[in-house]
Amino acid sequence: DYLSGFAIDVLGAQVVLRSSALWAELFREELTTALGQLGWARCALRWQRDAGSLLQDGYEHHFGCAPEADASLTDAREETIVRELGIRYFVSPGLGKKTGHFADQRENRGRLRDMAASMCSSRPAGGPPLEVLDLFCYTE
């Protein structure tokens, strides 16, 4: 969260790199090399572009064309299981909004889990089931 316009989410053995700023596209090769040097070369690196933000940032003026989806996102890929706070999530890295999983919402999902557990433990036996509205889910 300290690099405006660039996000990295590690989702299982896949790493999704999301660029929404021109600087990230200009230094794409250097970013990929640096991640490889950090040991992420064994992971599948999947670049994702936020076309709307990149257009506002001058992508078309600089590169002479509109930003396109990266080939690494259009390749067939399998669903990945991400374990977070003891819960398994089935995600498709690089698809949908953001990187395929809102990893930055981990703490909120943990708070909700703890709150629901507390509510369940204080319910009288035989009472109605607890109902929860999932506000953290997004699918296409």
pTM above 0.85, yes or no: no
pLDDT tier, 140 (very low <50, low <70, confident <90, very high otherwise): very low
Residue predicted with more confidence, 106 or 30: 30
Terminal CA-to-CA distance of the chain, rounded, Å? 25
Could you give the angle at the alpha carbon of 77 between the alpha carbons of 50 and 29, nearest 5°? 50
How far from the centroid of its chain's Cα atoms is residue 85's Cα?
Answer: 16
Q: Please name every residue paired with 46 in a beta bridge, in sequence order, or none if there are none.
A: 16
Nearest-CA neighbor of 93 among 42, 52, 54, 47? 47
Burial class (CB in 10 A: 0-12, 13-18, 19+), 9: buried
21-73 confidence digits (pLDDT tens): 999 999 999 998 998 888 877 778 888 899 899 999 999 999 999 998 765 65
Number of other residues whose CB lies within 10 A of the CB of residue 44: 17
The mean of the pLDDT values for the chain is: 82
